Amino acid sequence: MRTEIVVMDMAGTTVSDDGLVVAAFTRAVASLGIDEDHERFPAMMDYVNTTMGESKITVFRTLFDGDDDMAQRANAAFEHAYGDLVAEGRATALPGAAETIATLRGRGLKVALTTGFSPVTRDAIIDSLGWRDHVDLALSPADVGRGRPFPDLNLSALLRLGGTDVRALATVGDTAFDVLAGRASGAGVVAGVLSGAHDRDTLSAAGADHVIDTVADLPDLLANL
């Protein structure tokens, strides 16, 4: 089936992470008394790296053993810290990302950006890149109910952009959670990309149909299917 809608992850896929998630996390938990020398910090950081791509509030709920108040405080601190880093100009587009989006839309496909960040942080990144009119839709877990690895972001994009069939959906992301969400949504194309958190073996093990080096390779991949 011909692809109609492409759902693209942000950090690590279309937007350079450049250590921003780790830096924002470090600032966030430090504000709650857990600095880099704290005994809990290494295990927390390992979990953050393992769960790249998952909804951030879900990650914090796990880290704080289901204590929703602490999770909400940590998530708010994380979003504030990430916003500061974006304001400092540290969020940049990955090479070829803007051109890829333009190429896909030029072919008549619709493009949605998805992320585990809050809408405020997501929009700050999009505005800093000048991408407000560059994509058809941008979604966060708060917009749809659940984040990755659940299919909500992908299926909501399909519905809101008028897709005719889940098989007409293509997803691309740099983490196993992106791949799992693509599989769960029934997307016709589920691609992993090597520009971010996870390697080829991890993406393939999660169920990626294809693994590409960068998002710039996506137009050729879709054209040749």
State the CATH number of the domain containing residue 145. Answer: 3.40.50.1000
Answer whether 214's CB lies under 8 Å from 14's CB: no
2 or 18, which is more confident: 2
The 10s digit of each residue's pLDDT in 15-61 is 987 788 888 899 999 999 999 999 999 999 999 888 887 888 888 99
8-state DSSP, 11: B
Q: Cα-flanking dihedrals φ and ψ of residue 161, to 5°? A: -100, 10
pLDDT (0 to 100) of residue 220: 96
Query: Domain limits at 156?
Result: 5-17+91-223
Euclidean distance between CA atoms 57 and 87, whole angstroms: 22
Q: Which two tokens stand for residue 62?
A: 């796990």
pLDDT score for 175: 92
Rg (the chain; Cα; Å) = 17
Name the residue among 162, 114, 156 with its Cα closest to residue 138: 114
- Identify the burial level of 36 via C-beta atoms within 10 angstroms of its C-beta, where 0-12 means exposed, 13-18 middle and 19 or more buried: exposed
Judge whether residue 89 has pLDDT over 90.
no
Last residue of a domain, one of 68, 87, 106: 87
Average pLDDT, the chain: 92
State the average pLDDT over residues 113-121.
Answer: 89
Q: Are residues 41 and 96 in the same domain?
A: no
pLDDT at 49: 84
Q: What pLDDT was estimated at residue 173?
A: 96
Query: Torsions phi, psi of 208, nearest 5?
Result: -65, 135
Say if residue 132 is in the same domain as residue 212: yes
Answer whether 143's CB lies under 8 Å from 164's CB.
no
Q: pTM score, two decimals? A: 0.86
Assess whether 99 and 205 both reside in one domain.
Answer: yes
Q: How many domains does the chain have?
A: 2
Same domain? For 140 and 177 the reply is: yes
H or E element, residue 111: strand 110-114
List Cα–Cα distances, 23 to 49, 126, 129, 173, 204, in angstroms: 12, 19, 20, 21, 28
> Binning pLDDT at 50, 70 and 90, where does residue 113 land?
very high
Asked whether residue 51 falls in the same domain as residue 153, the answer is: no
pLDDT value of residue 18: 76
Residues with Cβ within 8 Å of 1's Cβ and at least 6 positions away in sequence, in order, are 165, 167, 168, 188
pLDDT, tens digit, 9 for 90 and up, residues 148-193: 999 999 999 999 999 999 999 999 999 999 999 999 999 999 999 9
Backbone angles phi, psi at 78, to 5 degrees: -60, -50
Q: Are residues 34 and 52 in the same domain?
A: yes
Cα–Cα distance for residue pair 74/35, rounded to 1 Å? 13
Are both 125 and 46 inside the same structural domain?
no
- The pLDDT of residue 60 is 92
What local confidence, expressed as pLDDT, does residue 98 receive?
Answer: 96
Average pLDDT value for residue range 127-145: 93
Q: Residue 121 burial by CB count (10 A; 0-12/13-18/19+): exposed, middle or buried?
A: buried
Written as six digits, the tokens of 221 are 């991949």
Statement: residue 4 has pLDDT above 90:
yes
Which domain CATH number covers 61?
Answer: 1.10.150
Claim to verify: residue 96 and residue 186 sit in the same structural domain: yes
Determine the pLDDT at residue 1.
Answer: 76
Can you tell me which residue has the tokens 């857990």? 34
Q: What's the rounded mean pLDDT across residues 61-84? A: 90
CA–CA gap between residue 53 and residue 59 (Å, rounded): 10
